[in-house]
Chains A and B, each alone.
Chain A
Amino acid sequence: AQSVTQLGSHVSVSEGALVLLRCNYSSSVPPYLFWYVQYPNQGLQLLLKYTSAATLVKGINGFEAEFKKSETSFHLTKPSAHMSDAAEYFCAVSKSGGSNYKLTFGKGTLLTVNP
């Protein structure tokens, strides 16, 4: 069964510091992985997705993620945190639900950015 695990339910960084949010997947076939962000009282917005075309994926707002098959990981990084990055981040995997594909989300990581 395909699933994702996010390590750390809460990550706190200082403004300007590196952001690292961890996601590990469990899959017997090549996974299709996504990172979504949810700002307070809003819906989810796609940051980036892995589609097997490249292992280093660049997304919006300066975020990127690297797919590492040997480590079964797809960690999200940003070199320099900004106050506006404070939000909940979800890693997700797409898998077949029969006639459609379904997104299954990790439990989420809340990122707080301290001034």
Chain B
Amino acid sequence: QKEVEQNSGPLSVPEGAIASLNCTYSDRGSQSFFWYRQYSGKSPELIMFIYSNGDKEDGRFTAQLNKASQYVSLLIRDSQPSDSATYLCAVNMKGNNRLAFGKGNQVVVIP
């Protein structure tokens, strides 16, 4: 089983809709969780981090964490064309000083 899995294919959403991205992780002891956005040809940039179960909101972004289900998600409300990018889920596992990344989910916002 991969450390971090993002299985969905490219996601197309109309402008103004909600984009929902999911991520699962294998290590139950994982402690911190991050979402990065990566535009084509650019490096990843941090959008949000979450450490505790529940929801965390920052502007149009909401991260949701469920440690019992080993599941973290990202919601993008009122999607804009500028949100079109690949979104990478990253997890820091207990006792480990690196971040493990998923393969990413591509989001395309259609005007």
Q: Do A and B come from one complex?
A: no
Interface residue ranges, B against A (CB under 8 Å):
none
